[in-house]
Amino acid sequence: VSPADLRVRALSGLPEISPGDPLGELIARSASATGEDIVVISQKVVSKAEGRVRRLSEVAPGEEAKELARRTEKDPRMVELALTESRAVIRAEPGVLICETNDGWICANAGIDASNTAGEDEVTLLPEDSDASARRLRQELLEHGGQAPAVVIADSFGRPWRLGQADIAIGCAGLTALDDWRGRKDAAGRELAATEIAVADQLAAAADLVRDKDSNIPAAVISGLGELVIADDGPGAKSLQRPAGQDLFR
Amino acid sequence: VSPADLRVRALSGLPEISPGDPLGELIARSASATGEDIVVISQKVVSKAEGRVRRLSEVAPGEEAKELARRTEKDPRMVELALTESRAVIRAEPGVLICETNDGWICANAGIDASNTAGEDEVTLLPEDSDASARRLRQELLEHGGQAPAVVIADSFGRPWRLGQADIAIGCAGLTALDDWRGRKDAAGRELAATEIAVADQLAAAADLVRDKDSNIPAAVISGLGELVIADDGPGAKSLQRPAGQDLFR
């Protein structure tokens, strides 16, 4: 089924989010998303609501972090947090620290981010398990909104070979994250070359287009793709992680 | 200026495109895009209109292609075309051939694609210079539609670390391809971490969400982001190419 029309609405008017805030309930109250919609939520507000916030002034960097901070010319306390949040360092160069997080995401600084936080030395960590966060948020949306839209948790990642950041999915629930076209034919009956489509990532990218980075728009609602929403929570965004053994760029 | 609402409309009803067809005129007739819109066009139809189509039965693979075909377990004629279209081979493994194209894009098989072509052994090459193609199409849209929307030429690329393909921009005109946020502050007055946003890639991804791979939907019109459309053609999608010297993953 091909949708003819897709709408992306920015969700504004949410209060500043603090640890313990009922994020799903707050979104349900202002979003009016249906069970055919996809709600894309910024990692930053999810991390805040989950208390995944640290003060740099309270971090004591160890020897490994200090040495890596020298190599990367980064704040040793940021590096200490990145190491704690990671299971591997993929690249370390002046100005660049690319990690594989404990949750399996490959990104700069293990996804630790200092912008849009409350305090001067506050940073956010990624959620511990963003798929679990998405499932919880979907459940809260259902409880407080009466509908179960799909949920995507999005973050801005850099990419090899290409400049600039684009939003990708680090968590999702109720969504076919990776649309499998293998075996399907094109209009002329030939096997398709594009065999798997990273639908969750493309939804994250579409939502980012309506979110100004400086205006704290924490979520967007995407309508018109109801065929992607599934009743069960599905395999999550981790189904988008390429197994290390199949990856040529680590 | 933050847009509150974004719309993506699939453009259907275009005839099958053949070499020499006036693609811009055909799109102008059925799209009714304004100067505030962004028209995202599939690489495949642009290549067809430009005659960037080859018959595998007419390709005679050389020695280098034959050797590389053995290593990658690919059709030697496909490999011959990929080598002709590339300035470097980035990775070659069984089942995988990742090239840097003459136009600077890093992708599988130099972007050569066998699906959705007319003949049994026909393949499409990428446009020779997709930014030039985008500029031409924008000019044709202006001539035949009276308006100059921005134009993005999109293709589906695989990504390191992540499974599935996502659409990215290989050409554009009239668009700020890379939105530079450096120096801007967040709501709390702190410098932003996400400093450059790959807007053109995110537009390509959003458009792909309304294009079924098997139904030949060759374009989509995105409305609600008029502030991204610029009067001159701008730097094109090549401004998204990360210089080799700054790239840690080649």
Q: Would you give per-residue pLDDT tens digits along chain A (250 residues)?
A: 344 689 999 998 889 999 999 999 999 998 889 999 999 999 999 999 999 999 999 999 999 999 999 999 999 999 999 999 999 999 999 999 999 999 999 999 999 998 766 667 899 999 999 999 999 999 999 999 999 999 999 999 999 999 999 999 999 999 999 998 777 776 666 666 657 999 999 999 999 999 865 566 899 999 999 999 999 999 999 999 999 999 999 8
Q: Which residues of B touch A110 (CB under 8 A)?
A: none
Quick check: helix, strand or coil at residue B32?
coil
**Separation CA B250–CA B242 (nearest Å):** 11
B221: which strand partners?
B9, B39
CB-based contact A206 B210, cutoff 8 Å:
no
Cross-chain CB nearest to B201 (options A7, A162, A248)? A162
Task: State residue B2's pLDDT score.
Answer: 45
Task: State residue B118's pLDDT score.
Answer: 65
**Separation CA A199–CA A196 (nearest Å):** 9
Quick check: helix, strand or coil at residue A138?
helix
Task: Chain B: give the shortest CA distance to residue A62, in Å.
Answer: 25
Please give the interface size between A and B, counted as residue pairs whose CB atoms are below 8 Å apart. Answer: 251
Place of tokens 């275009």: B14
Task: Chain B: give the shortest CA distance to residue A143, in Å.
Answer: 26
Which residue of chain B is at minimal alpha-carbon distance from A178? Answer: B164
Task: State residue B123's pLDDT score.
Answer: 95
Contact B80, B65 (CB under 8 A): yes
Contact A149, A231 (CB under 8 A): no
Model ipTM value: 0.94
Q: What is the β-pairing status of strands A38-42 and A150-159?
A: parallel
**Rg, Å, chain A Cα set:** 19
CB-based contact A161 B247, cutoff 8 Å:
yes
A contact residues 137-196, partner B, Cβ 8 Å cutoff: 156, 159-168, 178-179, 181, 184-188, 190-196
Is B14 an interface residue toward A (CB < 8 Å)? Answer: no
**Separation CA A57–CA A48 (nearest Å):** 18
Is A244 an interface residue toward B (CB < 8 Å)? Answer: no
CB-based contact B206 A240, cutoff 8 Å:
no
**Separation CA A178–CA A196 (nearest Å):** 6
**Separation CA B121–CA B125 (nearest Å):** 13
CB-based contact A216 B187, cutoff 8 Å:
yes
Q: Would you give per-residue pLDDT tens digits along chain B (250 residues)?
A: 344 689 999 998 889 999 999 999 999 998 889 999 999 999 999 999 999 999 999 999 999 999 999 999 999 999 999 999 999 999 999 999 999 999 999 999 999 998 767 667 899 999 999 999 999 999 999 999 999 999 999 999 999 999 999 999 999 999 999 998 777 776 666 666 657 999 999 999 999 999 865 566 899 999 999 999 999 999 999 999 999 999 999 8
CB-based contact A163 B198, cutoff 8 Å:
yes
Cross-chain CB nearest to B2 (options A98, A206, A212)? A212
Task: State residue A146's pLDDT score.
Answer: 96
Cross-chain CB nearest to A249 (options B161, B168, B192)? B161
How far is the CA of B95 from the CAs of A96, B70, B79, B81, B109, in angstroms? 31, 10, 12, 16, 10
Place of tokens 């894309």: A40
Query: In terms of Cα–Cα distance, which of A160, A80, A95, A94 is closest to A125?
Result: A80
* B109 DSSP assignment: G
Q: Which residues of A touch B198 (CB under 8 A)?
A: 159, 162-166
Contact A151, A174 (CB under 8 A): yes
Give Cβ neighbours of residue B37 (< 8 Å, ≥ 6 apart): B147, B149, B150, B221, B222, B223, B226, B229
Q: What is the DSSP string of A189-215?
A: SPBPS--EE-HHHHHHHHHHTT--TTT
Cross-chain CB nearest to A202 (options B186, B195, B205)? B205
Give Cβ neighbours of residue A188 (< 8 Å, ≥ 6 apart): B116, B117, B118
Sheet holding B86-93, edge to edge: B86-93, B96-101, B106-108
How many helices (H) does chain A have, and how many strands (E)? 6, 12
Q: Which residues of B touch A161 (CB under 8 A)?
A: 106, 241-242, 247, 249-250
Task: Chain A: give the shortest CA distance to residue B236, in Å.
Answer: 13
Task: Chain A: give the shortest CA distance to residue B8, in Å.
Answer: 5
